[in-house]
Structure 1
Amino acid sequence: MDLYLDSASTDDWDRLMPTGMFTGITTNPLLASRAGLTYPQIDWTRMAQHAQSLGAQELHAQVYGAPETFLPWVETLMEAGEKAGIRTVVKVPLVERAIRQVPALKAAGCPILMTACYDAKQMLVASGLRADYIAPYFGRMLEAGLPAYDAMAQMLAVTKSPGNKTRVLIASLRDTDQLCRLAEMGHDCFTISAAVADMLLSDGMSETAVAQFEEATKGPQ
């Protein structure tokens, strides 16, 4: 099982990465905006160093702007990862103008995550490109009335096909029930918000049990 923390907020990183349950961190321009950051001005060397210092093995960041600017930006991100000693993965949206840039990015040695996935058919694109990951937006799919669980089953089936190199990294999860149901299906790679991470880390009955254990250490009552 690989869990990623889906946040550009270093406060979230500082609070949750030390739990030790996350393989890495995923970010994008929307998450950066929510964290009060201006995406083109982010110092990726500093961000990569911060992530690595907290134990992250990977940092995923998304391309932006005109497609012809992707490669120079990706080279900056990869250099930041090399300096920090962390694997940097580039997120590329599943739209044609961005898809067409993937061969050049792969030729530059860049790990690729195809993102903004809403349909199982897009798994075939990612697999054909031999992308490292694909990120279906599960919660958004449900909210749009799409058959999200069926799509996740289809995508999981593709991962078992001969020659497939693409791993499904499910994003946009709203609660732990969704996470558990998808894990039951066989999925084992997720990126979750700080809010969902907090849901994973807390359980009222467990807290009650621990309180009883602590009370018992005081001796017979």
Structure 2
Amino acid sequence: MEFIVDTVNLDEIRDAVEYMPIVGVTSNPSIVKATSPENFFDHMREIRNIIGKERSLHVQVIAKDAEGIIKEAHRILEEIDNEVYIKVPVSYEGVKAIKALKAEGIKVTATAVYDLMQAYMALAAGADYIAPYVNRIGNLGADPMDLISALSDRIAVDGYDCKIVAASFKGVQQVRDSFNYGAHSITAPVAVLKQIFANPNIEKAVDDFNKDWYSMYGEGKGICEL
């Protein structure tokens, strides 16, 4: 089970990595636009500095043809490092590019997945991660959990070395369901992950524990003051 954050905001990344068990950072052009860094590659290198090599960094191409995707992938790896996962939308040209990149030993995250057969194509092409768009699939009237469950079963039955990284979330329930239906990873905005801790009962329980403790040992006398 992996928690990945979907942002390029440096402050959000620092906060998420410090407080939560975050194993990576994903981005796409729309997410980059939300922060609008002046120098894209400097910004991505700073993200790598924050998260280290032990966490994954996923950077998306913008070219639509296979030749352009491959060229952009090489530039991304040259400018950042060769551990970056190249995010490639699973279009007809994208699958061609995934095959070529995997033949070079490049790490690939197949993204913009809306359909199970689209996911199967990415799987057979050798993608390391496959990213179904949970909320968007639901908005189109389909069930994203059916896709995740079937894809998870196929990965297990055929023994593929690939992880499902569910993406596109509007709330914690979608994150929970994605894991429960077989996703190996999720990538979500930091604000969505922080909602996990927004339950007022958590703070009430802590306050009640503290009240009982201090009623025994005196106000301001914590464990370290005993």
The TM-score range, normalised by the shorter chain, is 0.7 to 0.9
SS at match of 1:173: coil
State the 1:183 CA deviation. 2.0
Greater CA deviation, 158-167 or 56-65?
158-167
Q: Is the 8 A contact 1:48 1:59 kept in 2?
A: no
> What corresponds to 2:23 in structure 1?
23
Amino acid of the structure 1 residue aligned with 2:48: A
> What corresponds to 2:179 in structure 1?
183
Q: Is the 8 A contact 1:58 1:88 kept in 2?
A: yes
> What corresponds to 1:193 in structure 2?
189
Instruction: Give me the whole-angstrom Cα distance separating, in 2, the residues matched to 1:88 and 1:46.
Output: 14
SS at match of 2:167: coil
> What corresponds to 1:70 in structure 2?
69
Instruction: Give me the whole-angstrom Cα distance separating, in 1, the residues matched to 2:164 and 2:188.
Output: 14
Q: Is the 8 A contact 1:57 1:87 kept in 2?
A: no
Question: Which of 154, 160, 171 is 2:156 aligned to?
Answer: 160
**Which structure would you say has the larger Rg?**
2
Instruction: Report the TM-score when normalising by structure 2.
Output: 0.86
Instruction: Report the TM-score when normalising by structure 1.
Output: 0.88
> What corresponds to 1:42 in structure 2?
40
Instruction: Give me the whole-angstrom Cα distance separating, in 2, the residues matched to 1:77 and 1:185.
Output: 33
Greater CA deviation, 72-81 or 20-29?
72-81
State the 1:81 CA deviation. 4.1
Tell me the matched-pair count: 215
> What corresponds to 2:51 in structure 1?
54
After superposing on structure 2, the runs of 4+ consecutive aligned residues of structure 1 that deviate more than 6 Å are none
SS at match of 2:84: strand
SS at match of 1:73: helix
SS at match of 1:135: strand
Greater CA deviation, 191-200 or 97-106?
97-106
Instruction: Give me the whole-angstrom Cα distance separating, in 2, the residues matched to 1:162 and 1:30.
Output: 34
State the 1:19 CA deviation. 1.4
Instruction: Give me the whole-angstrom Cα distance separating, in 1, the residues matched to 2:141 and 2:48.
Output: 35
State the 1:149 CA deviation. 1.9
What is the 5 A alignment of 1:78-157?
78-82=77-81, 87-157=83-153
Task: Give the direction of change, closer, same or farther, for the CA distance of 1:46–1:108 in structure 2 (3 Å limit).
Answer: farther
Identity of aligned residues (%): 24
**CA offsets per residue over residues 140-199 of structure 1, 9 Å max, x none?**
111111122222221111111224222111001221112222222232311011221111
Q: Is the 8 A contact 1:135 1:168 kept in 2?
A: yes
Amino acid of the structure 2 residue aligned with 1:198: K
Greater CA deviation, 113-122 or 60-69?
60-69
Unaligned runs of 5+ in 1: none
**CA offsets per residue over residues 39-98 of structure 1, 9 Å max, x none?**
xx511x54234334335611101011253332332223223443xxx8310010011122
Unaligned runs of 5+ in 2: 219-226
Task: Give the direction of change, closer, same or farther, for the CA distance of 1:185–1:107 in structure 2 (3 Å limit).
Answer: closer
> What corresponds to 2:224 in structure 1?
none
State the 1:129 CA deviation. 0.5
